[in-house]
Every structure is written in C-alpha cells, then in structure tokens.
Amino acid sequence: MNTTVEEHQEHEISHYLCIGCPMGCRLEVEEAEGEIVEVRGFSCRRGEAYAKQEHVAPQRMVTTTVRVENGLWARLPVKTTDAIPKELMWELCDKLHQLTLQAPIKRGEVVLKNALGTGVDVVSSRDMPYREG
C-alpha cells in the first residue's frame, strides 16, 4: 500500500506498510533513475522482499465467494492459490461473481483454472455438500 511519495535530492522515496509478518513495519523504498537504491525500515528479510515487490509489481491474494446451486449454503468461499497482479484483482472478482457452481464441491477443488491467464488457479476454501431435497 503506497501511502506517500516524496522527492528527495533527485531520489524518490515511497512509503509502505509491510504485511509480510505480524510486525507491520513502516518501510521506505528509495529510488533514483528507475532503480531501487535502498530499502529501510524492515525488521526481517520478508519485509525487504515485500517492499521491493510492492514497489515494482504489487500482487495480492484474492478471497471471495461464488454462487452455488444445490448446495447446503448459497455461496462458497474461494481463494487464489498464489498472488496475482494487483491491477487484475477487481477483474477477477467480477469474473468470480458471475460464476455459478454445482454442489457437491470438495475443499481445494479448482473452480477456475489459470485465472485471467495468470497461471494461478482459484480453489474452493471448504467443502460444499449437496443439499438433499
């Protein structure tokens, strides 16, 4: 999450809140001429890697629900198997909200393969039993 960008002696400094671990470090990425010069504020290696990834090509995991027919419940929780580019997140949610599945569905079952050509699948997060009667 890019919160601010500052100009600093021909260097641009971007600020992020790390979500790589529970520490929630406040990160700074200093960039000059399109290259990352320095990452500051991280307490662990995940923070440094997160800052670089977030600065260059932000990605997000997607979790939502899809409609189910003949299931015990009307909606099934689903999630991506890996992070996708942040700019595709809402497009994927729209696609999933148009999807209707048929029960029964097993936890971990692929409900959308290669979502939006990303190579990432969307899978069921729980079992959805068939509704009798």
Predicted TM-score of the model (pTM): 0.81
- What's the confidence (pLDDT) of residue 7? 54
- What's the confidence (pLDDT) of residue 40? 96
Helix, coil or strand: residue 96: helix
Q: Please, what is the average pLDDT of the chain? A: 93
Q: Is the pLDDT of residue 67 over 80?
A: yes
- How sure is the predictor about 87, in pLDDT bands with cuts at 50, 70 and 90? very high
Characterize the bridge pairing of strands 35-40 and 122-124: unpaired
Q: Is the pLDDT of residue 133 over 80?
A: no
Which tens digits make up the pLDDT trace of 3-48?
555 555 588 999 999 998 899 999 999 999 989 999 999 999 999 9
Helix, strand, coil % in the chain, rounded to nearest 5: 20, 45, 35
Of 86, 92, 81, 90, the residue nearest 117 (C-alpha): 92
Mean pLDDT of the 41-67 span: 95
- What's the confidence (pLDDT) of residue 4? 57
Count of beta carbons in the 10 Å neighbourhood of residue 50: 22
